[in-house]
Amino acid sequence: MKKIGFLMAATALVAAGAAQAERASDGQLNIIYWQAPSLLNPYLSGGTKELEAASLVIEPLARYNETGTMVPFLVDEIPTVANGGVSEDLTSITWTLSEGILWSDGTPLTAADAVFTWQYCTDENSGCAQLSNYNDVESVEALDDRTIKITFSVPKPFPYGPFVGAQSPIIQAAQFAECVGAAAPTCTDANFAPIGTGPFVVTDFKANDVASFAANENYRDPAQPAFATVNFKGGGDAASAARSVLETGEFDYAWNLQVEPEILTQMSAAGQGTVVSAFGTSVERMHVNQTDPNPDLGDERGTAAHPHPFLTDPRVSRALSIAIDREILVEAGYGSAGQPTCNVLPAPAIYASTNNDWCLNYDPDEANRILDEAGWVVGDDGVRVKDGVRLSVLYQTSTNSVRQGTQALVKQMWELIGVETELRNIDASVFFGGDPSSPDTFQKFFADIEMYTNNFDGTDPERYMGNWACAEAPSPETQWQGSNNQRFCSAEYDELVVEFGQTAALEDRAALAIKMNDMLMDSGSIIPLVHRGGVSAHANSLQGVLMNEWDSELWNIADWTRAD
C-alpha cells in the first residue's frame, strides 16, 4: 500500500514537472489539540477547540490575519464607507462574494447561504453560541447570487460582526436546512461533518477524540492545500502535547501550550520543533471589589448599597499594583507567552494607552509610602490597620497551576507592604459557571480581589469596554449575571460607552477607548498584570505557520507546507 502511494506520488511529481506547490503533495499533517473538539459546528459549541478545528472546513467572508488586519477570504474586497460597501449612515454593509467559489460538494456558494446562516444562528430555539456576532442585525438579504446586504437596526461604526472571523463562518443552507432551531442538536451528521468552502473536508469525526480531514477537491486555489490529509488528535494535557511535537516528533503542530516556561525551553532543546507565540487582547488581571463582600450583610452582600471598606480608595489599589513585580510573574508563569501590562485594553496598538506605565515600575517603597500617607499604620503583627480595619484581603481565582503560582508570589510581595492575603482557588467550571445559586462564581465575587483572563473577539473593543457600564454590574436583581464583576460605576464612564457606540472615525474611537481604559485604571478597580499570548509549537519541517491570536490559529492552513 505504502509503495503504491509512493509510486503514485512520484508519478504525480513527474507529471507536475518542477511545479513548486501542488495540492495534496505533502502527505499527512498531524495536529494535536490537548482539548479535543466535541463537534465541528461552532454555532453549537462556542469553545475555542471546536472553532479552530472547524476553521479547516468552514470559512467566514473575511478573516483577521496575524496582525489583526482583515483579509478577504470569500470576497474580493472588504466593504468600507470609502468604497461604498458600507452605507453613509452606517446602518448597512454589502458584501460581494468572489466569483466561482464552490462548496466541497461541488455546488456553488451563494448569498442565500449567508442569509441561511444568519437565520440558523438567530433562531430563538437553537441556543446558538455565536449569537452576539449578529447583535443588532435587522436583516440579511441576498440581493443576487453573489451580493449579501446586512442591515443593522442602529448605526454600526464597526459593521464587521457577522460573517467575519472564526466565530462567524458560513454554513451550507442545503446541508443544515432541516437543522434549524430545536432540531439543531439532532443533526449529528451535519454537526460532525459540515460541508465547507475551506481547504479541507471532514472524512471522519470521533467526538472528543480525533478528526480526520482530506484536501478539498473544489478548493478555490488549485495548488492548495499542500497536505493531502490532516489527522487532528485531541486529549491529554498540554505538557505531553508539547512533548509530542518538540521531543518525540510524532506530531507537527500543538496548540495552546500552557506549560511552565522552563519545561517548554527544556523540551525545545531537543531541536525537533519551534515554540511560537502571538499576542491578542487577553489580559490576566485582578478585579478589585468595589462592594463589601462581608457575609454578615446577608442578601445585600456584594451589592452597590455597601461600598467596600477600603478598596474603593484608589490609593490602596495603586499601592497593591506597584507592589507587584510583574516581570517575576511573567518569568515564573508565562515565559514568551506573557508581557507585563498596565492596561486592561492592551491591543490593537492604536487602542493601547501609555498613560499607566507607572505600574511597570516595581516599587515596594513607594507602595509603603502611599499606604502610610493614606493613614494605614503597620500593626504589631506586621499588617496595616486603619480605623480598626485590617488591610487583609481574600484573593480568589480559578484552579490552575500557573494561577496558584502567581497567587503565592503576589502574597509574598504584598506581605512586604503590610497587606495580609488569604488565598482561595475555585474549580474553573464553578468559578466561570455563572450558576446564580453557587456562592463561588466570579460574578458574585464574594472576595476582595479576583484574578482571571478576559479578552474580546476580533479587533474592535466597543463591546468589551461596555463591560464596565454601571448596568452591567451583577447583582441579585440581575440574577448575578453581568460583566462588570468589580461593580465599578461612574456616570461619566457610562456616557463614554454611549458615545463610543455613535463614533465612527477610527482615530476618535481609539481616543475614546484609551480614555475609558485610563478611567478604569485610575479608579483602581482593575489591576492588570500580564498581557497573555497564545503559545503553540510546530515541527521544524512545517512551513508557513503564522501564529494568529485574532482569528483561528489555523487560519492560513492552506498555505502550510512540508519542508524537505
Partner 1 sequence: MFAFTIRRLLFAIPTLLAISFIIFAILDLAPSDPTGNLPLTIPPEVRAQIRSSLGLDEPFPIRYALWLNQFFINEPLNMIEGWTGWTIGDGERLRVTSWATRSPVVDLIVERMPQTLWVVGMSQIIAILIAVPIGVISAYKQYSWFDQIGTFVSMLGFSIPTFFTGLVFIVLFSVHLKWFPSIYDTNHVIDSWSSFVFQIKQMIMPTMVLALATAAQLSRYMRASMLDNLQQDYVRTARAKGLSERVVVTIHVLRNSMIPVVTVIALNVPTIFGGAIITEQIFRVNGIGQLLIIGIQGADIPLVQTLTFIFAVLIVMFNLIADVLYGILDPRIRYE
Binding site for partner 1 (CB under 8 A): 1, 32, 36, 38-39, 44-48, 124-132, 182, 184-186, 188, 191-192, 204, 206-210, 212, 231, 233-237, 240, 243-244, 247-248, 250-251, 270, 427-435, 437-438, 440, 452-457, 481-483
- Tell the smallest beta-carbon distance from residue 513 to partner 1 (Å): 17
- Tell the smallest beta-carbon distance from residue 251 to partner 1 (Å): 7
CB 346 within 8 A of CB 361: no
- Tell the smallest beta-carbon distance from residue 264 to partner 1 (Å): 15
Instruction: Render 304-371 in DSSP notation, one character per residue.
Output: TTSB-TTTTSHHHHHHHHHTS-HHHHHHHHTGGGEEE-S-S---SGGG---TTGGGGS--HHHHHHHH
- Tell the smallest beta-carbon distance from residue 383 to partner 1 (Å): 32
- Alpha-carbon distance 284 to 50, whole Å? 23
Only one residue has cell 474592535, namely 460
CB 472 within 8 A of CB 466: yes
Helix (H) / strand (E) containing 265:
helix 261-268
CB 407 within 8 A of CB 397: yes
- Tell the smallest beta-carbon distance from residue 117 to partner 1 (Å): 16
- Tell the smallest beta-carbon distance from residue 545 to partner 1 (Å): 20
- Tell the smallest beta-carbon distance from residue 554 to partner 1 (Å): 17
CB 544 within 8 A of CB 274: no
Paired residues of 108 in beta bridges: 102
User: Which residue, 32 or 323, is less far from partner 1 as judged by CB?
Assistant: 32
User: Which residue, 147 or 212, is less far from partner 1 as judged by CB?
Assistant: 212
User: Which residue, 213 or 310, is less far from partner 1 as judged by CB?
Assistant: 213
- Alpha-carbon distance 360 to 542, whole Å? 37
- Alpha-carbon distance 93 to 13, whole Å? 45
Residue 352, C-beta contacts closer than 8 angstroms, at least 6 positions apart: 343, 345, 346, 514
> For residue 143, what are the CA distances in angstroms to 97, 159, 509?
12, 18, 31
Cα dihedral 419, 374, 518, 304 sign: positive
User: Which residue, 151 or 229, is less far from partner 1 as judged by CB?
Assistant: 229
**Residue whose C-alpha is closest to residue 304's, from 289, 283, 318:** 289
- Tell the smallest beta-carbon distance from residue 435 to partner 1 (Å): 5
Q: φ and ψ at 224, to 5 degrees?
A: -120, 160
**Residue whose C-alpha is closest to residue 163's, from 221, 113, 105:** 113
> For residue 377, what are the CA distances in angstroms to 33, 161, 316, 420?
51, 52, 13, 13
User: Which residue, 32 or 74, is less far from partner 1 as judged by CB?
Assistant: 32
Only one residue has cell 438567530, namely 122
| Length of the chain, in residues | 564
- Alpha-carbon distance 54 to 554, whole Å? 10
User: Which residue, 98 or 119, is less far from partner 1 as judged by CB?
Assistant: 119
> For residue 562, what are the CA distances in angstroms to 16, 225, 227, 428?
17, 11, 8, 38
> Edge-to-edge strand order for the sheet containing 384-386?
377-378, 384-386, 389-390
User: Which residue, 101 or 215, is less far from partner 1 as judged by CB?
Assistant: 215
User: Which residue, 527 or 558, is less far from partner 1 as judged by CB?
Assistant: 527
User: Which residue, 320 or 542, is less far from partner 1 as judged by CB?
Assistant: 542
CB 488 within 8 A of CB 290: yes
- Tell the smallest beta-carbon distance from residue 2 to partner 1 (Å): 9
User: Which residue, 225 or 280, is less far from partner 1 as judged by CB?
Assistant: 280
User: Which residue, 83 or 437, is less far from partner 1 as judged by CB?
Assistant: 437
User: Which residue, 20 or 437, is less far from partner 1 as judged by CB?
Assistant: 437
User: Which residue, 94 or 453, is less far from partner 1 as judged by CB?
Assistant: 453
- Tell the smallest beta-carbon distance from residue 535 to partner 1 (Å): 17
**Residue whose C-alpha is closest to residue 242's, from 337, 339, 340:** 337
- Tell the smallest beta-carbon distance from residue 319 to partner 1 (Å): 28
- Tell the smallest beta-carbon distance from residue 464 to partner 1 (Å): 8
- Tell the smallest beta-carbon distance from residue 139 to partner 1 (Å): 20
